[in-house]
Amino acid sequence: MIALAALAGYLIGSLPTAGLLGRLWGIDLRSEGSGNPGANNALRTSGLALASLVLLAEVGKGFVTVILGEWVTADPGAVVAGLGAVAGNVNNIWYRFAGGKGLGISLGVLIGAWPVVVIPILGVIALTAVISRSSGIAALTAVTALVVISGVWAAGDWPTGGVEPTLQLVVLAVGLSLVLAPRHWRDTPLNERWRSRRRGSVSPGRR
């Protein structure tokens, strides 16, 4: 049953909702802007309305998978279904395993599984993004903070507002970091390939 929850989460998470909404809006998010089928690229290319719809769809998918996983096999199912959904978003079978960045759907997973941590994590993302001016660094900082907070929460055995016991939140936090970190590392100034692409983009004569 755990495997069923993980598979269901993956299939729901891989639904190409951002791409479908973009097409309804008259834009192909995978060929415009950054090429990422997510809310950030929708905002840059089409504005707040489409970005809001994409974000709501992604958050909704994450939340639904947690509820479905909980129904299939209690809290362990909620955790594995949520992780499956994020994996399906980032490694999307419909996009040849090159999907979105997973932040919107991860937010939905956290709302369903660990709602009390959502505001602190959003605060970390916002603060780090302002300081670093890099969404990739903000995401990496957020998943690191999530792992640390999960350990503190488990040690204190504090109320979660969702999944119990708190040790399962450590599994969720570590799993999310393993899925999200490689994707966001590629888009940060910490990555030499990213810096090389940036140098090339500001040097028109360079091949």
Digit-coded pLDDT (tens) for 27-79: 888 888 777 788 888 888 888 999 999 999 999 999 999 999 999 888 899 99
Computed on alpha carbons and rounded to an integer, the radius of gyration of the chain in Å comes to: 17
Closest residue by Cα to residue 8 from 74, 66, 51: 66
Digit-coded pLDDT (tens) for 159-181: 888 887 678 999 999 999 999 99
Domain boundaries, the chain: 2-200
Considering the entire predicted model, what is its pTM?
A: 0.88
Alpha-carbon torsion (120, 126, 130, 131), positive or negative: positive
Buried b vs exposed e over 147-186: b needs ≥16 C-beta within 10 Å?
A: bebbbebbeeeeebebbeebebbbbbbbbbbebbeebbbe
